[in-house]
Structure 1
Amino acid sequence: MRSPSDEFEALATISTLGESEREISRRMRMNLLERGADSTPYLIAGSGQGGYDNIIMGPTDRVLEDGDVLIIDTRHHF
């Protein structure tokens, strides 16, 4: 079983430019559940050029572009 931190490390390989925050977040949640998480009570995400202006948000349908910074924070139970 991979650790939850492995999912964060894998983000660069499971996400691509042109995908939305929502698509990437959904994939991360599914990966956590497939790896044995019982639940993911919350998962936030946000992105923007050079950073983001809020950490309590999304995910939204905003599409990632070159130069964006993506933040994902989640709580999950194993």
Structure 2
Amino acid sequence: MTRVQVEFDSDIFSTLRRSPQEVAREMRLAAAVIWYAQGRVSQSRAAELAGVSRAEFLDLLSESGVSTCQETLEDLDEVLARG
């Protein structure tokens, strides 16, 4: 596993009222949601990146206002046309 280090001013944790560990977790969750919404990762991969189950990730998407379906209507029409 590759480790990524991000530096913040120390007062950010008190401003956010979060510990460094909580901020790291929130950043992982946010990245997973964004990358899923952009179509860069699947639901399963995003859940893995976020460190949650797929069901928990679906709840997180809903809470974030992100659609759980990445397919467009055109994609679905193609699937139906192929039978």
Whichever structure has more helix as a proportion of its residues is 2
Asked which structure has the greater RCO (Cα within 8 Å, sep 6+), the reply is 1
- Structure with higher Rg: it is 2
More strand by share: 1
